[in-house]
């Protein structure tokens, strides 16, 4: 992979990280503990709030994982291993890296890992 492609990917990864971090600031409030005061909120409203809380917590977990993946991809760029599959060490297809610049595995290894 050329140095210009790696630099483009670095810029995109940094942009993605910035977007995720800004979303994290607003999303954390949704994951706060649900108020269980029945005099203020009815049972169905509490259930809705608890469901929204669970969804916000899962979104936060996925966001944190995406941030870890981006950090790892940036480290691979710095070490010169970016664009190589972590499993078979073959080059990852350019189209795959365009779609997901934090991809760690080639299509074949990713398919095997999902099974």
Helix (H) or strand (E) holding 18: helix 3-27
pLDDT score, position 40: 57
What residue spans define the domains of the chain? Answer: 3-83
Average pLDDT of the segment spanning 9-20: 94
pLDDT score, position 22: 87
Instruction: Give the whole-angstrom CA distance, residue 66 versus residue 60.
Output: 10
pLDDT score, position 27: 64
Instruction: Give the whole-angstrom CA distance, residue 30 versus residue 85.
Output: 36
Distances (CA, A) of 70 to 36, 60, 80: 37, 15, 15
pLDDT score, position 115: 87
Q: In this predicted model, what pLDDT tens digit does every residue of 49-107 receive, in sequence order?
A: 888 888 988 999 999 999 999 999 999 999 999 999 999 999 999 999 999 999 999 99
pLDDT score, position 1: 63
């Amino acid at each position: 992979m050329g140095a210009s492609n790696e630099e483009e990917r670095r810029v995109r990864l940094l942009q993605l990280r910035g977007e995720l971090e800004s979303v994290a600031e607003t999303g954390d409030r949704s994951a706060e503990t649900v108020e269980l005061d029945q005099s203020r909120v009815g049972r169905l409203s509490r259930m809705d709030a608890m469901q929204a809380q669970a969804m916000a917590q899962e979104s936060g977990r996925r966001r944190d994982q995406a941030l870890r993946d981006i950090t790892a991809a940036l480290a691979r760029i710095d070490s010169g291993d970016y664009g190589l599959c972590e499993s078979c060490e073959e080059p990852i297809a350019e189209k795959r890296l365009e779609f997901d610049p934090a991809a760690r595995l080639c299509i074949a290894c990713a398919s095997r890992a999902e099974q």
